[in-house]
Amino acid sequence: MTMSFFRLVGGRCLLVGAAVWLALGPAAERPRAQSTPTVVVAVVVHPSNVEDRITSAELCDTLLGERRRWLDGRPIEILVPPAGSSEWTVAIRAVCRTSEAGFKRQVASSRAFGRASRPPQIVETAADMKKRVAASPRALGFLTVAELDATVKALLIDGLPPTDAKYLIQGPAKPTPR
């Protein structure tokens, strides 16, 4: 009795599935939704910098100004893309798990309690970011993977390079006048 019930239900399911497929047509014929492009943001330093990796927690502390020096003792010069850019929005969300407004509040709080050094310097264009990082062994900046070259070194984040599919700092890109 139960076997005939499953045959009946299974047959109906197959019949309904075939009817739906015939009504909607094959998936290849349906228009596909446009996917949002993804931006992958590398954390870059001068090629001579002794560090080649940083954890996401250390990077967040660095951005907040609470970690002030590289392993060799040199002060860190933090360079960031402009507010609202895809690179900065994706980086802050991934690394510090906050919005730009939340990040500004955290920086203000760190500075008010004396835990932070001076705030990050805003660099308007990717070309200027690359040029400034390439010129300063103290600098830490942000570039998209497409903008990387031998003049800068991309740090591993949590042990992963920016080319790894599981890399932390990536997200939906939005058009920016950068």
Instruction: Write out pLDDT tens, residues 124-166.
Output: 999 999 999 999 999 999 999 999 999 999 999 999 999 999 9
Indicate if the alpha-carbon torsion angle 52, 53, 59, 65 is positive or negative. negative
What is the separation of C-alpha 121 from the centre of its chain, rounded to a whole number of angstroms?
Answer: 19
List the one residue out of 146, 176, 153 whose CA is nearest residue 41: 146
pTM: 0.74
pLDDT digits (tens, 9 = 90+) for 10-59: 445 444 444 444 444 444 444 444 567 889 999 999 999 999 999 999 99
46 within 8 A of 136, measured Cβ to Cβ = yes
